Amino acid sequence: QSVLTQPPSASGTPGQRVTISCSGSSSNIGSNTVNWYQQLPGTAPKLLIYSNNQRPSGVPDRFSGSKSGTSASLAISGLQSEDEADYYCAAWDDSLNGRGVFGGGTKLTVL
């Protein structure tokens, strides 16, 4: 069982806006920043959002992140077929001498 909780699946049609939630606790999301990773089929994860809402160079502005309290969310607007992938939230957890923690991942299907 993952420390951060994500829905296992999400879906949308091209052009739609979809959101993926990530729920944690005071020791992780509540006190540290949230990052999001995109993993296309058969490839390594790629940083999508860091520090709650920052996009690395090259990531389209269709992707956005937000955080409130012990929860965070990733929004994808103008959904495209190439967005079909697994998405993971992640944060640092201050318990147990500190550790990195991930959500279980959300598989996004573009219908």
Partner 1 sequence: EVQLVESGGGLVQPGRSLRLSCAASGFTFDDYAMHWVRQAPGKGLEWVSGISWNSGSIGYADSVKGRFTISRDNAKNSLYLQMNSLRAEDTALYYCAKGGIAVAGTHFDYWGQGTLVTVSS
From 14, 69, 78, 100, residue interacting with partner 1 (rule: CB under 8 A): 100
Closest approach of Cβ 98 to partner 1, in Å? Answer: 5
Under rule CB under 8 A, residue 26 binds partner 1: no
Q: Degrees (nearest 5) of the Cα angle 46, 36, 95?
A: 120
Under rule CB under 8 A, residue 98 binds partner 1: yes
Closest CA to 24 of 94, 103, 106, 105: 103
CA 20 – CA 91 distance, rounded (Å): 15
Under rule CB under 8 A, residue 38 binds partner 1: no
How far is residue 40 CA from its own chain's centroid? 13
Lateral strand order in the sheet of 71-76: 18-23, 71-76, 63-68
Closest approach of Cβ 45 to partner 1, in Å? Answer: 6
From 2, 5, 19, 21, residue interacting with partner 1 (rule: CB under 8 A): 2
Under rule CB under 8 A, residue 56 binds partner 1: yes
Per the CB < 8 A criterion, the answer to whether 21 and 73 are in contact is yes
Q: Which residues bind partner 1 (CB under 8 A)?
A: 2, 32-33, 35, 37, 39, 44-47, 50-51, 56, 86, 88, 90, 92, 96-105
